[in-house]
Amino acid sequence: MSQGIVAKKNMKSNPYIIAEIGQAHDGSLGMVHSYIDALASTGINAIKFQMHIPEAESSEFEPFRVNFSYEDKTRFDYWKRMSFTLQQWAEIKTHCDEVGLEFLCSPFSNLAVDWLEEIGVKRYKIGSGEVNNFLILEKIATTGKPIILSSGMSSFDELDKTVAFLKAKNATYSILQCTTSYPTQPEQFGLNVIQELKDRYNVTVGFSDHSAKIETCIAATALGAEILEFHVVFDRKQFGPDSKSSLTIDETAQLVTAVRTIKTSLGHPIDKSNNENFTTLKQIFEKSLAINKPLARGHILTFEDLEAKKPKGYGIDASKFNDVIGKTLIFDKNQWDFLNDEDLE
């Protein structure tokens, strides 16, 4: 099944980068496996899916979030067209394993949790709409596996209740700042909430993005996000409810490189009071005082007589120009000669 591309996966990677396929496969197994192979070379850590078992999670009364579909009369019909069998999900998980990507999946029913347990997942991602669904949280908590909680539609009051519930179950959890808006506009990012979540809950905090921009996750990394999640699509023009809110495969690779670079920089703080590493460069780039016109012995120097020339050390430091103004030359000086203490009375 795998085409030989193997991702470099590090479970301790920080930030931990999750690319979500979600519904971008449009019900096609071929598309699912194409996404897995395409993302394996981008440097992400995990690839995330959504497990929808229509009869267990929905009904014919569920409205469309985005009424985009030309072939599904109801959203319930859409879920049926988009769903896979347990065996197909197991094959998807195997493919992810083969290319070195963690298979991550959001369940939307207790039955989906049972399926994911049978497949063998390492952790659970809870979508924003399930944060207040204590039934499924109870089910997941009994597995003892870590939980990543997306906070997109939750107030702090609601999150407090969910966190209290998870604590009572001794669950291990992290929280993602998220805004449930597609695509999310800059005024809606809520980057400030990253630190607020850390301060309030003292857990690992990340950022779930729907902006379709790489700079959003870069900023989140700089502000301390330790998990990043975003939707991925082959092309933002393709059919589906999340296409306009997704990054492309190439943009995903660019994002990974960018956030890894930023994270490296954050791990190496600079002592701005110590510039000894720049001694040689300072000698090259900094300047010495010079004369900008021919001047005779006895001339009293003014500001208009002075220029600063590279390199440093061939004349009086340019920073000390005030010290020479008003002093008298004791030698004739040619235009562009360096000016030294021995030239002055």
Kindly state whether residue 1 falls inside one of the protein's structural domains: no
Same domain, 299 and 214: no
Same domain, 236 and 294: no
CA distance 206 to 173: 11
Residues ≥6 apart with Cβ < 8 Å to 217? 207, 209, 225, 228, 230, 255, 259
Q: What is the DSSP letter of 313?
A: T
In terms of phi and psi (left: phi > 0; alpha: psi -120 to 50; beta: otherwise), the region of 331 is: beta
**Residue 12 CB burial class (10 angstroms; 0-12, 13-18, ≥19):** exposed
Kindly state whether residue 271 falls inside one of the protein's structural domains: no
Which of 244, 266, 288 terminates a domain? The answer is: 266
Query: What CATH code is carried by the domain that includes residue 304?
Result: 3.90.1210.10
Domain that holds residue 191: 16-266
Give pLDDT, residue 12: 62
Inform me whether the pLDDT recorded for 119 exceeds 90.
yes
Across 73-77, 271-275, 303-307, 322-326, least confident range? 73-77
Kindly state whether residue 182 falls inside one of the protein's structural domains: yes
If one counts the domains in the chain, the total is 2
Structure tokens at 216: 């959003």
Same domain, 189 and 111: yes
Which of 248, 266, 284 terminates a domain? The answer is: 266
Kindly state whether residue 284 falls inside one of the protein's structural domains: yes
Structure confidence by residue, pLDDT tens digits, 67-117: 666 676 787 888 788 899 999 999 999 999 999 999 999 999 999 999 999
Residue 316 · residue 324 · CB < 8 Å: yes
List beta partners, residue 289: 308
Across 61-75, 191-205, 263-277, least confident range? 61-75
CA distance 344 to 331: 8
Which of 266, 286, 302 terminates a domain? The answer is: 266
Inform me whether the pLDDT recorded for 45 exceeds 60.
yes
Structure confidence by residue, pLDDT tens digits, 234-266: 999 887 777 888 999 999 999 999 999 999 999
Residue 13 · residue 41 · CB < 8 Å: no
